[in-house]
Structure formats: structure tokens, C-alpha cells
Amino acid sequence: MDAMQYNGLTLAYIGDCIYELRVRNYVLSLGLTKVNDLHRKSVEFTRGQAQSYVMHYMIDNNMLSELEYDMFKRGRNSSIAKVRKNISRSDYLEGTGFESLIGYLYLSGNISRMDEIIDLAINLIKDRQKED
């Protein structure tokens, strides 16, 4: 099936998986060995607030093509009834949009661009943690 045919939540479903795997590989590269430490560190990169921050950065700096922005909006504008208590609705939806973009790039075979965005995300979040 053509990647354009999937709805935002379906794209986010696979995008979440791909992004999570890349983050887990990055966290392992830090030399952490305790599962709780690995999990805590991974959550810093995969939580909706962090993904929302990355999307704001990319949008503010005009780093997305029109199609990429449309794929982000496809996920962001998804009809989601419930949002977890520990995150704002806007951060949650923007995180879903980020995952939708990653999912679209993966399913469309644009792996180099997907890798570029994931690498940027990891570096932005890592740099933001240094500031805090």
C-alpha cells in the first residue's frame, strides 16, 4: 500500500516503533546497562513534550518540505478522544504528528531523510537536556 494512503494514526503507529528503536540504540551507545536507567533515558527522548519541541524547532526553522509538513499535520490533526494526564493535549498531538512524519518517511522508503530527522531530534533533545 502507498504510504500516502495511511491515516495519521496508522503512520504514527509505525513511526513510534521506528523512532523508539533508534532511541534505544542511541541510549545503549551511552554505555548504560541497567534496564531502569535505559528506560528512564529513553523516555526523555520519546515523550510527547520532547517530540513537540523537535517539531516546533523544525517548523520555526523551515526545515520541512510541504509534504513533510502535511504528514505532520495528518498525525497532529488526528481525532484522539483521550490524552494521558501527564501531558498537554497540544504536546500529545504534536508528538503524534512527529511520529506520523517518521512513519510516512519510513513507509515511503525515504530512509535517509527519516534518519536525518531522527538524528536531529536526538541531538536537539540531548542539547536541551544540557541546558536544563
| Rounded Cα distance, 31 and 98, in Å | 27
Active-site positions?
A: 16
Among residues 4, 1, 8, the alpha carbon closest in space to that of 75 is found at 8
The answer to whether 87 and 16 have CB atoms below 8 angstroms apart is no
The answer to whether 12 and 103 have CB atoms below 8 angstroms apart is yes
